[in-house]
C-alpha cells in the first residue's frame, strides 16, 4: 500500500488507462487512414457541388449517373467517347465506358472497416471496464473506490456513446 492506495488498484487503473488510450488512438488512426485512402481514389479530380459534377484533370466533367439511396452511394461517370480519346486514359481508367467515381455519402460512418475498428475499440473499453469492476471486489479503502469509479464512469460514458453510434448506423 502506498499513499493510501493498494498497488493492485493503481496497476489496474494504469492498465485500464492504457487500454482506453489504445482504443482512442485506434479510432483516430482508422479515421485518418480512411480519409487518406479516399483522397487517393479521387486524386487529381475536384468536386463542384454547385454543378454536382466531378472535374477531371483535363477539365472534363463526370456527371451523376446513378444513386443508391440504401447504401448512400452516388456514381459519377465521364462520357465514354471523351475518355476513349483522352491522352490520360491509360493512367486514369481501363474502362471503355468512361471513368467512374463512386462517392459514398457517409463512407466512413457506414463502412465495414469502420465497424471493424469501432468493434475493436469497444472491446478494449469493455475490457478496461471489466478489469476495473473486478478490482472493485477487493478494494477496501475509500481512495481505492474513488480511483476506480473515477475511471469507470468516463469509460461507461464513452462506451455508451460509441455503442449508440454503432447501433444507430446499423439501423439506417
Q: What is the pLDDT of residue 107?
A: 56
Q: What is the pLDDT of residue 1?
A: 62
| Rounded Cα–Cα distance for residues 123 and 108 (Å) | 20
pLDDT in tens, the chain (172 residues): 666 778 888 899 999 999 999 999 998 888 887 777 766 677 888 889 899 999 999 999 999 999 887 777 889 999 999 999 999 898 888 888 999 988 777 655 456 777 788 889 999 999 999 999 999 888 888 889 899 999 999 999 999 988 887 776 555 4
Residues in CB range of 62: below 8 A, 6 or more apart: 45, 53, 54, 55, 56, 76, 77, 78, 98, 99, 100, 101
Task: Tell me the domain boundaries of the chain.
Answer: 7-35+111-171, 44-106
Beta-bridged to residue 77, according to DSSP, are 63, 100
Amino acid at each position: 500500500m502506498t499513499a493510501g492506495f493498494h498497488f493492485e488498484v493503481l496497476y489496474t487503473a494504469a492498465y485500464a488507462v492504457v487500454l482506453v488510450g489504445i482504443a482512442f488512438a485506434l479510432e483516430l488512426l482508422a479515421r485518418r487512414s480512411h480519409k487518406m485512402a479516399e483522397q487517393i481514389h479521387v486524386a487529381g479530380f475536384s468536386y463542384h457541388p454547385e454543378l454536382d459534377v466531378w472535374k477531371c484533370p483535363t477539365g472534363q466533367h463526370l456527371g451523376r449517373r446513378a444513386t443508391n439511396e440504401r447504401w448512400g452511394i452516388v456514381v459519377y461517370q465521364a462520357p465514354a467517347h471523351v475518355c476513349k480519346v483522352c491522352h490520360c486514359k491509360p493512367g486514369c481508367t481501363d474502362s471503355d465506358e468512361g471513368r467512374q467515381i463512386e462517392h459514398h455519402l457517409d463512407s466512413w460512418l457506414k463502412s465495414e472497416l469502420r465497424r471493424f475498428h469501432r468493434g475493436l475499440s469497444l472491446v478494449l473499453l469493455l475490457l478496461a471496464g471489466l478489469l476495473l469492476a473486478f478490482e472493485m471486489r477487493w478494494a477496501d479503502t475509500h481512495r481505492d473506490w474513488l480511483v476506480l469509479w473515477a475511471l469507470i464512469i468516463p469509460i461507461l460514458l464513452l462506451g455508451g456513446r460509441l455503442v449508440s453510434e454503432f447501433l444507430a448506423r446499423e439501423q439506417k
